Structure 1
Amino acid sequence: MNIALFALGGTISVSGRAKGERLTGAEITAAVPGLDELGVSLDVQDVHAVPSGSLTFTQVLDVVDAASRAVAAGAAGVVVTQGTDTLEETAFLVDLVWPHEAPFVLTGAMRQPGMAGADGPANVLAAARVAASPAARGLGALVAFNDEVHAARRVRKSHSMSTATFTSPNAGPAGHVIEGEVRILAAPQRRATVLSAAGFTGFDRARLDAARVALHCVTLDDDGAQLDGLAERYRGLVVAGFGVGHVPAPLAPVLGALAEHIPVVLTSRTGSGPVLRHTYSAPGSEADLQRRGLINGGLLDPYKARVLLRLLLAEGAGREETAAAFAEHGYR
């Protein structure tokens, strides 16, 4: 069995040698005890050796393209090592476009290789196990970290330093690696990819670069002044509202006016739980904002909502297609 492993940058690759020097994928895998005992061969490739905070949509999609070619050539699964800062976003981006049954598993590390208790080797070993496991087939993109398996749609980075930083607040882990075996206990329901759902055939990179989406986090006494002229600079907006999807009353008409020109998606800034649809009706409530044209983001957090909206805009989706996509990926 062959597994394709693509090494990006991030903490897992910090060498501790010369400043800026990074470990190669071969060096990362060579430091993993037991990896050579899994009965799989690793095809290791080094790509985009940058911190995850500097990754772009295009670079991530380039990795997806390379991984897709590897699967077409016979790879049973894919592992990607990268930094953790944007891992929850890159995992969801991959999940939205990955059409294969083969698992696509992302992992990384919170502690550098030279630190006591470095977690990178254990995470790579777990990711390789998941990528090779029949139990993980058909589940799309997954995150393997701290011997837990998380669905890309639900996973969040919840702590700036903890090795148990990745959690899935709304559902819990999809599974665990127990005594070397992958146990999927709560398999995520697979959604259609953005490409197949909307009938798209591929991403035009120039259109993707042009599909800029802003993210506005609502705060106490927020009057929306920061949003002046936004529709002239961005193609879409994600709003991280209070609680179940509320904003200050004076902000509601500002968002409604924007929704007349660009898609505006309503999410919650809380980190878990849904945006409601019809429980509250006061000015600035979720029902009021939807009447003004905002699209309900459901259970998607603001960061994932931004990823989905940008892909949809890059492919020319209209408002009805966009709302349907958020209903599919956010609630169902």
Structure 2
Amino acid sequence: MVGAMATIVVCGLGGTIAMTAVDGGAVAPALTAASLVRAVPGLAGLGAGLEVVDVANVPSSSLRLADLAGLSATIAGRLAAGADGVVVTTGTDTLEECAYLLDLLHDGPQPVVVTGAMRSPALAGADGPANLLAAVSVATSPGSRGRGVLVAFADEVHAAVRVRKGHSTRVTAFESPVGGPVGYVVEGVPHFVAAPAARFVVPRGGELPRVPVVVAALGEDAPDVPADAAGLVVAAFGVGHLPQWWAPPLAEAARRVPVVLATRTLAGPVLSGTYGYPGSERDLLERGLIPAGLLGPWKARILLMAALAAGAGREQVAAAFAAAGGLGDAARWPWPVRGGART
């Protein structure tokens, strides 16, 4: 544990973990953070003093960027006031994006652990209490310090930068295709199997700008880039391929705003020099697109928004993706790097 009586703040955002039955038999968010905590047997045995904060109570599909920016500020304030760690409960639909944005904005050593549930409290076998118990356990573990934001789900511990939701319904929905979990909760005790990695923190900036994601599809026309977009993420085929007729308009867009090239496969890297035909990854990068590395399109969007909000220009954005994308040099990160070398 962090201490004899660690103070852990539980921030509730809503989601399936906080849902109860409504008319017609469906479920909707209703439970407060305090209600969630009261429903978890075994929390008292963790030796943590729990404080609860209700930030929102909505499905995570209805969260706005401003909600997450406000939550990040709340977390920073509670940690600065002396809290030893934070647990965030939220819906699973956008959990991977929420966790990564919080990770990019969290510059302290204290653990922040995000969790949720795939089955509501109205169902047999609801997984919310077990996930919340595991999350508090991870938040009180000294091994969690310096790791940034973690995701605790189904007794696995994932790094926010790598985790994704890989299934729509199963209770083991979350996975890290690159590298696997960084730890496991065994008999209530967190055990880490990966060393702390370098942490890439973005300075807090202004309002997060609009960054659309365009997904490539067979035979689709080239996309129009909205005039109010501050950047664009393209989820390409395979290792970074697009229809050849997409290349010229995207090159034109890249002269105006940063355009990041990710893969729609959601696992594996964007390459840089294997293929050389029009619309290939090499052709697109030569036209000014920025490779996302190992970041999927949704996380690439989060990083691009955070970097632009912090005032980064195109060269800084490219350097940020070279570092955080996991295929380049961590030293290229435009801002101070926290922690040790990336493993």
What is the TM-score normalised by the length of structure 1?
A: 0.93
Matched, 1:2 2:3: no
1:72 to 76, 80, 83: 80
Per the alignment, residue 221 of structure 1 pairs with 219
8 A contact 2:119–2:126 mirrored in 1: yes
RMSD: 1.3
For 2:156, the aligned partner's letter is E
Report which of the two has the higher share of helix. Answer: 1
**CA distance in structure 2 between the aligned counterparts of 1:304 and 1:172, rounded to whole angstroms:** 17
**CA distance in structure 1 between the aligned counterparts of 2:325 and 2:109, rounded to whole angstroms:** 22
Matched, 1:174 2:169: no
CA drift at 1:188: 4.8
CA drift at 1:203: 2.5
2:17 to 12, 16, 22: 12
**CA distance in structure 2 between the aligned counterparts of 1:138 and 1:277, rounded to whole angstroms:** 32
**CA distance in structure 2 between the aligned counterparts of 1:311 and 1:21, rounded to whole angstroms:** 28
Per the alignment, residue 109 of structure 2 pairs with 101
Per the alignment, residue 93 of structure 2 pairs with 85
Matched, 1:47 2:87: no
8 A contact 2:14–2:29 mirrored in 1: no
Paired residue secondary structure (1:183) = strand
CA drift at 1:15: 2.2
For 1:318, the aligned partner's letter is G
**CA distance in structure 2 between the aligned counterparts of 1:132 and 1:231, rounded to whole angstroms:** 45
For 1:330, the aligned partner's letter is G
CA drift at 1:248: 1.3
Matched, 1:288 2:304: no
CA drift at 1:146: 0.1
Paired residue secondary structure (2:233) = strand
1:104-125 Cα shifts (integer Å, max 9, x gaps): 0000000010200000000000
1:280-321 Cα shifts (integer Å, max 9, x gaps): 111111110011000011000000000111112222211100
Matches within 5 A, 1:257-296: 257-296=252-291
**CA distance in structure 2 between the aligned counterparts of 1:10 and 1:215, rounded to whole angstroms:** 24
**CA distance in structure 2 between the aligned counterparts of 1:161 and 1:20, rounded to whole angstroms:** 17
- Structure 2 vs 1, CA of residues 114 and 272 (structure 1 numbering), >3 Å: closer, same or farther? same
CA drift at 1:187: 3.3
CA drift at 1:20: 4.9
2:250 to 251, 255, 271: 255
Paired residue secondary structure (2:235) = strand
Q: Percent identity?
A: 52
1:304 to 289, 299, 308: 299
What is the TM-score normalised by the length of structure 2?
A: 0.90
- Structure 2 vs 1, CA of residues 241 and 17 (structure 1 numbering), >3 Å: closer, same or farther? closer
1:189-220 Cα shifts (integer Å, max 9, x gaps): 1223011xxxxxx3223xx2xx1111111111
**CA distance in structure 2 between the aligned counterparts of 1:204 and 1:253, rounded to whole angstroms:** 32
2:239 to 240, 244, 252: 244
Paired residue secondary structure (2:324) = helix
1:160 to 161, 168, 171: 168
**CA distance in structure 1 between the aligned counterparts of 2:226 and 2:22, rounded to whole angstroms:** 47
**CA distance in structure 2 between the aligned counterparts of 1:177 and 1:30, rounded to whole angstroms:** 21
CA drift at 1:252: 1.2
**CA distance in structure 2 between the aligned counterparts of 1:124 and 1:173, rounded to whole angstroms:** 18
For 2:210, the aligned partner's letter is R
8 A contact 1:98–1:141 mirrored in 2: yes
Residue correspondences, number: 319
**CA distance in structure 2 between the aligned counterparts of 1:21 and 1:83, rounded to whole angstroms:** 10
Per the alignment, residue 115 of structure 1 pairs with 123
Moved over 3 A (4+): 17-21
Matches within 5 A, 1:135-146: 135-146=143-154
Paired residue secondary structure (2:213) = strand
Per the alignment, residue 199 of structure 1 pairs with none
Q: Which moved more, 1:42-51 or 1:116-125?
A: 42-51
Unaligned runs of 5+ in 1: 196-201
1:124 to 102, 110, 132: 132
8 A contact 2:16–2:29 mirrored in 1: no
- Structure 2 vs 1, CA of residues 21 and 152 (structure 1 numbering), >3 Å: closer, same or farther? closer
